[in-house]
Chains A and B, each alone.
Chain A
C-alpha cells in the first residue's frame, strides 16, 4: 500500500505530501510534517490532546484519516502565535496558570480557540462544555476555565 499524494494547507502553508493511506491526520502532522506540538494521549478520541482546527472546527486529529482531509485547511497550536505576539488564549493560559505538565495544553488551547470563533462571549458553563472532550490530569480545570474566560474578554474588547 503505497503512500498517496495529499494536498493540505497547514497553518497557512500549502503542503503537497505523500502519506500512507491508513495514516491519521495526527500521525501525519507529527511524523511527516514534524509538527509535534499536537499531542497523542490515547489515539482513541478520548483525551482531546490531539485537537486541531480542521476547516474551521475543532476535531480530534487521531480520528481523522489524513487522506480524507484532502484539500482541507488545518490549524495546529504552532499556527496560533505570530512572530511578535502570542495568541490571546496562549497568553491567558500563561498568566492564569492554565497549564502544568503541558501535555494537554495544545489540545485545550485549540478547543478554546474553536469555541471563541463561534461564541466570543461564552459563559463559564459554555467553556466547560466546549472543553468537555479534553482531559487534563494536572490542573483540575479551574485555572483553564479562568484563562479561557480571560482570553474571551480580551479578544472581545479588542474588536
Chain B
C-alpha cells in the first residue's frame, strides 16, 4: 500500500501518544524533505505519518552564555543559517547550514530531521558533533539526554526507540578565542550531497598560540559522521604550526573509512579528508586568533570547496 494517513500532533504528548498507538507503521515527519523523497522512491512505506510541524514550541533557537545554544528540533536549517548567535559563535554550524541544498529546501528542512535522518553526509552533523551537542529525547518513558556521539548507529539508524521524538539539541557555549568552519566538498556549489564534509573547532589559550582545545568531525567517510579524536589529541596543548596541522590532517585521513560510490572513490574521499581538515583547521585557527571573517566569506569557503 502506498497511501498513508496524515495525523496532526497537537503537542509533544499527543505526538508520542500517536506514535505509540500506530507503532512501527507510523513515522514522524518534520520538514518532510527526506520523508517525501524516500516515500516516493519506495524506501519508506508507513501507514501513517505524525506531523510535528504544528508544535511551535519545538522550533525555537536560544542562546545564553550559561546554557549555551538550544536548538529546537523543528528549527529550520534556514533559521540556523541566519541566526546571529550561531553566525557569531558557532561558525561551523552556520556554514554547515548555508552549504545545505538550496534556499527552498533550507526553508523546510529541520535540524532535528537532519539529525534523525542520520545520513553520513548530513551537512549540519559534523558541526553539531564538533560542538559537543547533547540530544534531548522525549518518549513514552519521559525525557532523556544523550550525547550526539552516541546517537548515530549507522546509515539511517539512530538511538531513538519506538515512540521517541528528538526535541532539542544543546551545544555548550564556546570558550573565548574559539573559531570554527565547515567545508563541504561537492562538485556543485549548491544542491549537492557532500562527497566529504569536515568541521573543525579550535580554541586557543590566552597566549594566542597554544591550542587549548580542538575538535574535528568528519562526514561522508564512514557509516555515520564521527569525531576524529586522534587528530584532535595531536593538537591539544601544542603550538599550532602548519606542520602540526598537517599531521592532524593525516590522522584524520587515517580515521576515515569511506566507500566507493557514484560521487567518488574511497581513495579520493580519503585525500579530501586530509585536504579539508588542513583547511578547516587553518581557517578556524585564524578566526580563533581574532581575524574577522564575514559570513559571506565563510560561505564562499564552505561551499566553493576550495576557493
Do A and B share a direct contact in the complex (Cβ within 8 angstroms)? Answer: yes
Distance of A46 Cα from B31 Cα, bound (Å): 15
Tally of contact residues, A, Cβ under 8 A: 34
Tell whether, in the assembled complex, residue A45 and residue B101 are in contact, meaning their CB atoms are under 8 Å apart.
yes
Over the window 88-122 of chain A, the binary record of Cβ atoms lying under 8 Å from chain B Cβ atoms (1 yes, 0 no) is: 00000000000000000000000100110000000
A8 contacts the other chain (CB 8 A): no
Output the residue of A68, A111, A115, A135 with the most chain B CB within 10 A: A68
In the complex with contacts A59-B104, A59-B107, A132-B103, A43-B191 CB distance below 8 A: no
Identify the closest chain A residue to B300 (Cβ): A125
Distance of A129 Cα from B53 Cα, bound (Å): 27
Identify the closest chain B residue to A19 (Cβ): B6
Tell whether, in the assembled complex, residue A21 and residue B6 are in contact, meaning their CB atoms are under 8 Å apart.
yes
Tell whether, in the assembled complex, residue A70 and residue B103 are in contact, meaning their CB atoms are under 8 Å apart.
no
Over the window 48-83 of chain A, the binary record of Cβ atoms lying under 8 Å from chain B Cβ atoms (1 yes, 0 no) is: 100100100111101111011010000000000000
Tell whether, in the assembled complex, residue A60 and residue B104 are in contact, meaning their CB atoms are under 8 Å apart.
yes
B158 contacts the other chain (CB 8 A): no
Distance of A54 Cα from B6 Cα, bound (Å): 20
Identify the closest chain B residue to A62 (Cβ): B36
Tell whether, in the assembled complex, residue B32 and residue A133 are in contact, meaning their CB atoms are under 8 Å apart.
no
- Chain A residues near B173 (CB, 8 Å)? none
B155 contacts the other chain (CB 8 A): no
B29 contacts the other chain (CB 8 A): yes
In the complex with contacts A67-B6, A68-B32, A132-B189, A57-B37 CB distance below 8 A: no
Identify the closest chain B residue to A135 (Cβ): B191
Task: Please list 21 pairs of residues, one from A and one from B, whose beta carbons are closer than 8 Å in the complex, sorted by A's number.
Answer: A1-B3, A1-B5, A4-B6, A21-B3, A21-B4, A24-B36, A45-B36, A58-B104, A59-B105, A59-B108, A60-B105, A62-B36, A63-B33, A63-B36, A63-B108, A67-B6, A68-B54, A70-B54, A111-B103, A132-B190, A135-B191
List chain B positions with a Cβ less than 8 A from chain A. 2-6, 8, 29, 31-33, 36-37, 39-40, 49, 51, 53-54, 78, 101-105, 107-108, 189-191, 296, 299
Apart from the given pairs A22-B6, A45-B104, 11 other A-B contacts in the complex at a CB distance below 8 Å = A20-B3, A22-B3, A57-B107, A59-B108, A63-B31, A65-B36, A65-B51, A67-B6, A68-B32, A129-B190, A132-B103
